[in-house]
Amino acid sequence: MEQPLITILPDHVANQIAAGEVVQRPESVVKELVENALDAGAQRISVMIREGGKALIHVLDDGCGMSRADLELALVRHATSKIRTLDDLRRLQSLGFRGEALAAIASVADVEILTRRSTDDYGWRLVSQPLKSRQIEPTECPSGTQVIVRNLFFNVPARRKFLRTDATELRYISETMLRYGLSYPDRCWTFHDGSGVVFQLEQQSLLERIAALFGGEFTSQLIPVDSHNEQVRIEGYLGLPSVARTTKASQYLFLNHRPIINRALSHAIYQGYEHMLEKSEHPFYVLFLWIDPEMVDVNVHPQKHEVKFEDERMMYHAVLEAVLQSMRAHDLIPQLRIRQAEVTAPLVTVQSQGSNEPLIVNRITGEVIGTSPTPQPNKTLPSAPRMHTERARWQPSGQPLSQLLEPMPPAIQQTLPTPSMQSRLWQIHDKYILVQTDDGIMIVDQHIAHERILYERALDAFERATGSRTQRLMFPVEMPLDARLRAIYHELEPELQQLGYECRLLSDRDAVEIRAVPVEIRLGTEADSLREILEQFAEYQTIRPASVRDNLAASFACRAAIKAGERLVLAQMQQLVEELLRCRTPEVCPHGRPVLIHFPLRELDRRFGRTS
């Protein structure tokens, strides 16, 4: 029988691919290990890192521990004690459930686990190195679990190179530790960064915890929130306008303990503050939402920061109402009312997640009036955070081609090579992708293909046919602007926003602050790529007789696309080809160069003198 072309990826390859989604940087390891400790019911959790987590991450808990049999399974992919059926996922109470984290971490780092159940006399020690067989031996250790991760990404140089400096990686980790510290004031936390103790927290109330983490004097500037309806309970604290910040860094939103990002809900909170803050001011808040796990889907993102609510509108309204209620109770609303008189149009539209129809919201009462078929210009709210219809997405290694695919239209499915295309793709010379099609082979230029995809996506974003996909930066990046770039930037500002950029000109120095970038932009290249896009645009304006939008779409596509010389994993190639075939004009790039060449089998047969 003929050798099949399809092979099943060995576990270590599958794990490394998964690691791209689950483990992007040391911070993701800390997050996963801390979540495991919390899921294990730990009361005390200690985290110690060295060299920004690159050299060492050590998480110690006093949770339930593992038996030898469980320890053996813990590092296996899709091994989890947290769910057994899809039904369990609907009722999920734990933070983890994918059973991927330990397997992924163990594929890109040395891992040691010490664990003991409180009922056992002695514990177990597991030592694992990528590609080597694992050893387990009995050991003495305190009850609970310690996971020690060393030399993260030592076997994936490309990923290691992608990491930032130790100080920056430490900052990411600190941010995560702060979030979990806030989310679980009833647990004791110790965080050591290799040079000293960053914080040591005993069991506290939320207010005490906020005082411990942000400073005691701060708590006098907070007002409590506590409100509920039948479906959701909202509690926590809002900062008074006097402690508003210049960035969004001090905003903490938790859903059933899980730190989340949700644009619609953050918009609801800003709505509550409307007219109390300047454009450049951002409220401080720590808010907990408690809802029935069945009403939310956390399985839309491998890192689980993004969640999808069954009833987005109800959530929006409930959060806005909770904020307004607590402001009313603290006499902040009268001030709000007086200023409200200046407002001309009380209705704003809000693009809710997962729905194409923007909601129309009365900004005074917070009432959702209805839906609007076309987005209305939102002139009265220049500083409000922009909303996008965002699809679930994952991001292997911060690489661009990472959005989950929409189901393909049937017409295109027919032109697709074969259902098992996955196994019929090869990258050659890190530049071209070879695809076996139903009736021949196709050679695709990876850079030009991606350029085509991004070009059409950008045009769609300008036409508002699709929402643009944005990634918010945890720490805004500054890009210096000279007079010329400043002029170009001014010209393109609205379109850049539509592409997914969120920028602010800094008037005190010649620079622009980048707060969010389109998902295709690699983290770490925000400033460089924006400068290149502006430069490229200027060049196109002089050589291409096209509209401003067209030229911007082309320069964005050119600069954000993967380059020749970049090695792609199978999933990326597959996605690239599938997305290309979904383009309106997949054959040519925005400059008219061919994107793909197709050799029909007929042609090959002819050349080889085959007559059948």
The smaller minimum CB distance to Mg ion, of residues 36 and 575, is found at 36
Among 21, 32, 62, 520, the residue binding ligand ADP under the rule CB under 6 A is: 32
| Using rule CB under 6 A, residue 600 touches ligand ADP | no
Q: Which does 74 bind (CB under 5 to 8 A by kind): Mg ion, ligand ADP, none?
A: ligand ADP
Among 21, 27, 61, 306, the residue binding ligand ADP under the rule CB under 6 A is: 61
The smaller minimum CB distance to ligand ADP, of residues 103 and 533, is found at 103
Distance CA 430, CA 324 (A): 56
Q: Which stretch binds ligand ADP (CB under 6 A): 91-99, 248-256, 274-282, 557-565?
A: 91-99
Q: What is the largest CA-CA distance in the chain?
A: 88
Among 45, 66, 148, 496, the residue binding ligand ADP under the rule CB under 6 A is: 66
Distance CA 124, CA 118 (A): 12
141, two tokens: 């250790």
| Using rule CB under 6 A, residue 81 touches ligand ADP | yes
The smaller minimum CB distance to ligand ADP, of residues 61 and 166, is found at 61
Q: Which does 63 bind (CB under 5 to 8 A by kind): Mg ion, ligand ADP, none?
A: ligand ADP
**CB-closest chain residue to ligand ADP:** 96
Among 57, 74, 238, 260, the residue binding ligand ADP under the rule CB under 6 A is: 74
The smaller minimum CB distance to ligand ADP, of residues 26 and 65, is found at 65
Q: Which stretch binds ligand ADP (CB under 6 A): 35-43, 211-219, 304-312, 443-451?
A: 35-43
For 496-535, give the secondary structure using H, E and C: HHHHCCEEEEECCCCEEEEEEEECCCCCCCHHHHHHHHHH
Binding footprint of ligand ADP, residue count (CB under 6 A): 24
| Using rule CB under 6 A, residue 354 touches ligand ADP | no
| Using rule CB under 6 A, residue 101 touches ligand ADP | yes
Q: Which stretch binds ligand ADP (CB under 6 A): 75-83, 399-407, 483-491, 509-517?
A: 75-83
| Using rule CB under 6 A, residue 28 touches ligand ADP | no
| Using rule CB under 6 A, residue 445 touches ligand ADP | no
Q: Which does 52 bind (CB under 5 to 8 A by kind): Mg ion, ligand ADP, none?
A: none
Please count the residues of the chain: 612
Q: Which does 270 bind (CB under 5 to 8 A by kind): ligand ADP, Mg ion, none?
A: none
Q: Which does 291 bind (CB under 5 to 8 A by kind): Mg ion, ligand ADP, none?
A: none
The smaller minimum CB distance to ligand ADP, of residues 101 and 324, is found at 101
DSSP 334-402: HHHHHHHTT-S--EEEEPPTT-SSPEEEETTT--EEEE-SSPPP-TT-TTSPP------B--GGG-S--
The smaller minimum CB distance to ligand ADP, of residues 64 and 170, is found at 64
Distance CA 534, CA 521 (A): 14
Q: Which does 293 bind (CB under 5 to 8 A by kind): Mg ion, ligand ADP, none?
A: none
DSSP 24-58: SSHHHHHHHHHHHHHHTT-SEEEEEEEGGGTSEEE
| Using rule CB under 6 A, residue 99 touches ligand ADP | yes
For residue 447, the surrounding DSSP H or E stretch is helix 446-463
Burial grade of 136 (CB within 10 A; 0-12, 13-18, 19 or more): middle
Q: Which does 326 bind (CB under 5 to 8 A by kind): ligand ADP, Mg ion, none?
A: none
Among 28, 36, 115, 470, the residue binding Mg ion under the rule CB under 5 A is: 36
Among 20, 52, 53, 96, the residue binding ligand ADP under the rule CB under 6 A is: 96
Distance CA 277, CA 335 (A): 12
In 3D space, the residue among 441, 505, 514 whose CA is nearest the CA of residue 473 turns out to be 514
C-alpha to C-alpha distances, 385 to 115, 287, 351, 395, nearest whole angstrom: 45, 18, 11, 23
583, two tokens: 């383009």
The residues, any chain, with a CB within 8 Å of residue 106's CB and separated by 6 or more, are: 15, 75, 128, 130
Q: Which does 529 bind (CB under 5 to 8 A by kind): ligand ADP, Mg ion, none?
A: none
Q: Which stretch binds ligand ADP (CB under 6 A): 99-107, 167-175, 289-297, 423-431?
A: 99-107
| Using rule CB under 6 A, residue 304 touches ligand ADP | no
Helix crossing, 526-543 with 483-499: angle to 10°?
100
**CB-closest chain residue to Mg ion:** 96
Give min distance, CB of 96 to Mg ion, in A: 3
CB 318 within 8 A of CB 309: no
Q: Which stretch binds Mg ion (CB under 5 A): 34-42, 188-196, 361-369, 372-380?
A: 34-42
CB 201 within 8 A of CB 212: yes
Give min distance, CB of 54 to Mg ion, in A: 21
The residues, any chain, with a CB within 8 Å of residue 2's CB and separated by 6 or more, are: none
Task: Convert residues 112-151 into a mask of x (bound to ligand ADP by CB under 6 A) and - (unbound).
Answer: ---------------------------------x------
313 φ/ψ angles, rounded to the nearest 5 degrees: -65, -45
Distance CA 359, CA 347 (A): 10
| Using rule CB under 6 A, residue 36 touches ligand ADP | yes
Q: Is 280 helix (H, G, I), strand (E, B) or coil?
A: coil
C-alpha to C-alpha distances, 331 to 218, 224, 235, 269, 324, nearest whole angstrom: 19, 13, 19, 17, 10
The smaller minimum CB distance to ligand ADP, of residues 103 and 177, is found at 103
Residue 424 is given by DSSP the state: G
Give min distance, CB of 532 to ligand ADP, in A: 39
The residues, any chain, with a CB within 8 Å of residue 4's CB and separated by 6 or more, are: none
The smaller minimum CB distance to Mg ion, of residues 101 and 516, is found at 101
75-134 positions binding Mg ion, by CB under 5 A: 96, 101
The smaller minimum CB distance to ligand ADP, of residues 43 and 247, is found at 43
Which residues contact ligand ADP (rule: CB under 6 A)? 32, 36-37, 40, 61, 63-66, 70, 74, 79-82, 96-103, 145
Which residues contact Mg ion (rule: CB under 5 A)? 36, 96, 101
